[in-house]
Structure 1
Amino acid sequence: MSEPQENSQAQRIALLTGLYTAQGIPFGFFTLALPVLMRDAGWSLTSIGFLQFLALPWGIKFLWAPALDHHGSRRGWLMFFQCAACLMALILSQLDLKAGSLILFGAVFLFNLLAASQDIVTDGLAVRLLGAKERGLANAIQVGAYRLGMILGGGLLLWIFSHEGWQVMFLCMAGLLGLTILPVLPLKEPPRHTAPSNRPQGMALVIGWLHRALAPGMLTFFGLILCFRFGDQILNSLLPPFLLDHGVSKSTIALMKGGVGSATSLLGASIGGWLVYQLGRRKAMLLAGLSQAAGFGLYVAVAFQMGGVELLWAATVLEGIVGTMATVALFTLMMDASDPEHAGTDYTLLASVVVAVSSLGSLAGGVLGDKLGYGTTFLIATCLAVAGTLFVVWWLDRHPTNERIAEAWR
């Protein structure tokens, strides 16, 4: 595989760091900072809640992933999406929170559309640019840089607003996004091995995502993602109400999950990348998955009245580290599972399954929490996390879903 040598490792690291940070900046702003600003400006909770629907492009981006995968240059798409995001930030600097909701919501939707589309190209490019040995590093960058972007978008920009106002805040966002364009400029794009005449066209391109979902091993891998993430998502979906019901103040929850949790996740991303690089996929997934389940035990202890706020702080720190380690291990395996010729589509489909499992886990967590209480539900989630990790390792030991997985697994 010759592509990884076309760009130096430093260039690849800078490129992926910039691109994933660029995705996190608007996501952090629109999910963390904007609701605060809207409420402060007098918007209703119903209007603020509608923001969640504007993230729809992230859930359905697999529909247009084949078009970005097989038409146009990756560098060209990245330049277009990055520059368009800067332009959108400049446009938003001229709006006002008191402006008509349709205008503001339309701008937010377009921003999500641009970021989700950029993500398709970035993930596909990462698969093509990196050798198997480097993908652990890439996913550490992916998780860590995205989290960094969220901190900048949800924290720094909110602080700038409190001191300088709406216009300066979005000008600063445009500036931050502009910086992430710089690593794209020297990109030497890996060549496509598929001749233009053999690339999907017409209806085949429209339903290309379905063709890739039915490719050998993909449906099995969907199931493995469900096994690995389901218990984790059940527990994590209940943590905010659990903390509140146990007497933790809203400001403390914000610091605990938004500040400390985000900071420790950056450390976890680094450790996760190191584990995949040094130990390989199998050992890293086994260690990270079981460590994450062990961390859940602290929440179980608190739920059964065997600890207080101090134990919750310890659980937050540990979960931020080991939870991110597990995410890096899974995302690295998802890159291995993606066909380089359909990398953007394959990885986007797998990422969509991760989102779907998150929603399914949240639903199951709510139902179980109401029926059984926090303690029993957390215990079930922990057992599912252990069983899921062991099953994924057992299955891939015996039935690698494709040759790429088989080569990288051990």
Structure 2
Amino acid sequence: MFERTDIDHLPRHRRLLLLAALYMAQGLPFGLFVQALPVILRQQGVSLEAIGLSSLLALPWALKFLWAPWLDRAPAFGGLRAAVPRRLGWLWPLHLLAAAALLGLSTLDPTTELRLLLSGVFLINLLNASQDIVTDGLAVDLLPPSERGPGNGLQVGAYRLGMIVGGALVLVLIEAAGWSTGLRLATLLLLLTLSPLLFVRELPSPTRQNAPVRTSPSTEDTPAHLGVLLDFLRRPGALSALLAIALYKLGDALAAGMLRPWLVDQGLSTGDLGKLLGGFGFGAGLLGAALGAFAAYRLTRHRALLLGALVQATGVALYVPLARIAAAGTLSPGGSLATAVVIDHLTGGVATVVLFTCMMDACRPRHAGADYTLMASVVVIATGAAQAFSGLSAAHLGYPSHFALASLCAALGGLAAVILLRSHPFLSTGPVNAPEAPPTPRLP
């Protein structure tokens, strides 16, 4: 049995377990909705354009940078109680509220109460996006530079494991036992990811060592919340880095936006999609995350980014010939389709881990949660815009040309990102496994 340990003094295996549980908690409902929602909408005859626009339900993930500086530095409940810790004080209520919202969705009929379902999905995205701010700041705090490659591999892997559970196990159960039973199981699994939090403690914000004291946003020590973001943008090369981050996953998102509607149009059932994408696909994503962590550890940042860009574009390109074959007939869940899904998710996992590792390097120690959230929001805005556009693209170009366009965007966007980051050394460029410099103490 684990003893309760201060969160700043956890041994390596304990802090990795904690972070894995927190990221898995975010992936579980996302995996469920990203798999189930497009299927439900398409089965009800919703247009491809509207399905593409449903990605806007993830808007909180794109806009979370607006409240990240406040959430990153403020104790929960406004510091009304001195005993409220800065990180755990937010994680507990956000996690429990997300579980309550998911349980509430289990009472709905998704075919007749679609508006309430969409509202619930938006609320859960808002809660999970806020939890992600706190978790990302905690990850930057807990992981030294030499552990960030493996740490980000664990982050993406745990998130995808949550997506496997939510996107495969729960979807198969929904097909067999119904919507309510599936979502109740998902709620139970979400609550189980809280268990590592039971064995850690955190000193309250005013007394925690190395943590900034929460005073007033108008003081000299604590800049206004938007000032934190403006300070980040004033850094040399920051705008070029944000553009590179936006371009890196653009083509991959354009393809992913129409993958599920395309498969529904080929006659695949909810259970088939759960097994193919939630099982084979997200499982391959786990392996991709591990390979991405290895690449981020062994290669320089720029070489790892280039590798990720090339393999990601290759994975997307595999859908082009399959879409042409499907236009003349139907595809089965196995064979070449399963192979393409596996390779696509594997290569996407590699690229994601490398990108997230570079983003973590760019964070300022005193504003880690806000900085990382800003960069992650740029990724979400870019990928969300691509997914929103994907329905329009597929409807007017057809699936084969749509996937060809996505592959081209993945290749050109990835290469452009690498060139931008080489021209503006905003991110770390050295090998990840280089000896660490002595830690710089945080100022109060």
The whole-number CA distance in structure 2 between the counterparts of 1:35 and 1:370 is 15
Aligned partner of 1:28 among 31, 38, 41 = 31
Aligned to 1:196: 214
Aligned to 2:382: 357
- Segments of 5+ residues of structure 1 without an aligned counterpart are none
Aligned to 1:120: 133
Structure 1 pair 311–104 and aligned structure 2 pair: CA distance change class (3 A): closer
- Tell me how far 1:288 sits from its aligned partner: 2.1
Structure 1 counterpart SS, 2:199: coil
- Structure 2 counterpart of 1:265, one-letter code: G
- Tell me how far 1:243 sits from its aligned partner: 5.4
- Tell me how far 1:169 sits from its aligned partner: 4.8
Aligned to 1:219: 239
The whole-number CA distance in structure 2 between the counterparts of 1:54 and 1:275 is 33
Alignment of 1:58-137 (within 5 A): 58-72=61-75, 73-89=86-102, 95-97=107-109, 107-137=120-150
The whole-number CA distance in structure 1 between the counterparts of 2:323 and 2:348 is 19
Structure 1 pair 22–359 and aligned structure 2 pair: CA distance change class (3 A): closer
Whether 1:234 aligns to 2:237 is: no
Alignment of 1:373-392 (within 5 A): 378-392=403-417
Aligned to 2:78: none
- Structure 1 counterpart of 2:11, one-letter code: S
Structure 1 pair 157–372 and aligned structure 2 pair: CA distance change class (3 A): closer
The whole-number CA distance in structure 2 between the counterparts of 1:259 and 1:132 is 32
- Tell me how far 1:75 sits from its aligned partner: 1.8
The whole-number CA distance in structure 1 between the counterparts of 2:263 and 2:118 is 31
Aligned to 2:297: 277
Aligned partner of 2:18 among 12, 15, 20 = 15
Whether 1:207 aligns to 2:220 is: no
Structure 1 pair 366–79 and aligned structure 2 pair: CA distance change class (3 A): closer
- Structure 2 counterpart of 1:215, one-letter code: R
**Stretch moving more, 254-263 or 317-326:** 254-263
- Structure 2 counterpart of 1:11, one-letter code: R
The whole-number CA distance in structure 2 between the counterparts of 1:37 and 1:378 is 22
**TM-score, normalised via structure 1 length:** 0.79
**TM-score, normalised via structure 2 length:** 0.74
**Stretch moving more, 253-262 or 117-126:** 253-262
- Structure 2 counterpart of 1:249, one-letter code: G
Structure 1 pair 212–91 and aligned structure 2 pair: CA distance change class (3 A): farther
The whole-number CA distance in structure 1 between the counterparts of 2:273 and 2:179 is 26
The whole-number CA distance in structure 2 between the counterparts of 1:373 and 1:91 is 38
Is the Cα–Cα contact under 8 Å of residues 212 and 346 in structure 1 kept in the other structure?
no
The whole-number CA distance in structure 1 between the counterparts of 2:95 and 2:17 is 15
Q: Alpha carbon RMSD of aligned pairs, Å?
A: 4.1
The whole-number CA distance in structure 1 between the counterparts of 2:182 and 2:399 is 40
Is the Cα–Cα contact under 8 Å of residues 132 and 408 in structure 1 kept in the other structure?
no
Is the Cα–Cα contact under 8 Å of residues 228 and 388 in structure 1 kept in the other structure?
yes
The whole-number CA distance in structure 1 between the counterparts of 2:274 and 2:365 is 40
Structure 1 pair 192–65 and aligned structure 2 pair: CA distance change class (3 A): farther
Structure 1 pair 337–102 and aligned structure 2 pair: CA distance change class (3 A): same
Deviations 1:111-151 (A, max 9, x none): 33221211110011111111122122222222222222223
Aligned partner of 2:286 among 266, 269, 288 = 266
**Stretch moving more, 124-133 or 149-158:** 149-158
Structure 1 pair 158–85 and aligned structure 2 pair: CA distance change class (3 A): same
**Stretch moving more, 11-20 or 108-117:** 108-117
Structure 1 pair 110–362 and aligned structure 2 pair: CA distance change class (3 A): closer
Is the Cα–Cα contact under 8 Å of residues 4 and 131 in structure 1 kept in the other structure?
no
Deviations 1:22-53 (A, max 9, x none): 1122223344447878999xx9969x979766
- Structure 2 counterpart of 1:323, one-letter code: G
The whole-number CA distance in structure 2 between the counterparts of 1:169 and 1:239 is 23
Aligned to 1:399: 424
- Tell me how far 1:215 sits from its aligned partner: 3.4
- Tell me how far 1:255 sits from its aligned partner: 4.5
- Tell me how far 1:158 sits from its aligned partner: 4.2
- Structure 1 counterpart of 2:134, one-letter code: V
- Tell me how far 1:279 sits from its aligned partner: 2.6
Structure 1 pair 302–259 and aligned structure 2 pair: CA distance change class (3 A): same
- Tell me how far 1:395 sits from its aligned partner: 3.6
- Tell me how far 1:291 sits from its aligned partner: 1.7
The whole-number CA distance in structure 1 between the counterparts of 2:41 and 2:415 is 45
Whether 1:339 aligns to 2:364 is: yes
Deviations 1:295-340 (A, max 9, x none): 3443344466699955443322211111111111111111112222
Aligned to 2:440: none
- Tell me how far 1:386 sits from its aligned partner: 3.2
Q: State percent identity of aligned pairs.
A: 41
**How many residue pairs end up in the alignment?**
400
Aligned to 1:317: 342
Is the Cα–Cα contact under 8 Å of residues 300 and 430 in structure 2 kept in the other structure?
no
* Structure with the larger helix share: 1
Is the Cα–Cα contact under 8 Å of residues 298 and 431 in structure 2 kept in the other structure?
no
Whether 1:6 aligns to 2:25 is: no
**Stretch moving more, 62-71 or 23-32:** 23-32
Aligned partner of 2:353 among 292, 314, 328 = 328
- Tell me how far 1:212 sits from its aligned partner: 5.0
